[in-house]
Amino acid sequence: MNNVPKKLFYSRTHEWIRKDQKDQEEIITVGITDHAQCMLGDLVYIELPEIDSSFEDGQECAVVESVKAAADIYCPIPGEIIEINEELLENPQLINQDPYGKGWLFRVRPFDKNFTKLLTADQYSKQVASEAH
């Protein structure tokens, strides 16, 4: 079983979401889960959103490409992109090596603090288990 940290939120489309503070403001950091990177295999290219662009929840905002597939990343919370992980552009394998740390994708200033649509670690683990058959 892949690593699913308890303290994070998750989306059905395999993004993880972490609440963070930046300059006394509540923001969120988004990445893809250990399970997702494991399914994709070695990542070779990442396309990140433009800073200051805004997205609805569930809207495509990035693309991760591995040796065998390219997958869309969906913005899990409506908001505005305030920071992207530029290190990934040079070194996409950071996502494989450290999906919850150095492999983060982007940070969002949420328009809406309602996180109830997101999954808890337990709910996400159950979803992953139900997909594996």
- 87 closest CA partner among 75, 95, 79: 95
Contact between 80 and 52 under an 8 Å Cβ cutoff? The reply is yes
Q: Interface with other proteins includes 57 (CB under 8 A)?
A: no
Q: Is 47 in the site for other proteins (CB under 8 A)?
A: yes
- Per CB under 8 A, 65 contacts other proteins: yes
Report the residue number, 22 or 68, with the smaller CB distance to other proteins. Answer: 68
The reply on whether position 129 binds other proteins by CB under 8 A is no
| Residue 89 or 129 with smaller CB distance to other proteins | 89
DSSP E strand stretches across the chain: 9-10, 15-22, 25-32, 43-47, 54-55, 60-66, 70-74, 79-84, 106-110
Applying CB under 8 A, the span of 5-13, 62-70, 97-105, 117-125 interacting with other proteins comes to 62-70
Q: How far is the CB of 22 from other proteins (least distance, A)?
A: 22
What phi and psi, each to the nearest 5 degrees, are found at residue 63? -130, 130
Is residue 69 near other proteins by the rule CB under 8 A?
Answer: yes
Q: What are phi and psi of 59, to 5 degrees?
A: -85, 140
Q: Note the residues at the interface with other proteins (CB under 8 A).
A: 44-45, 47, 50, 53, 65-70, 72
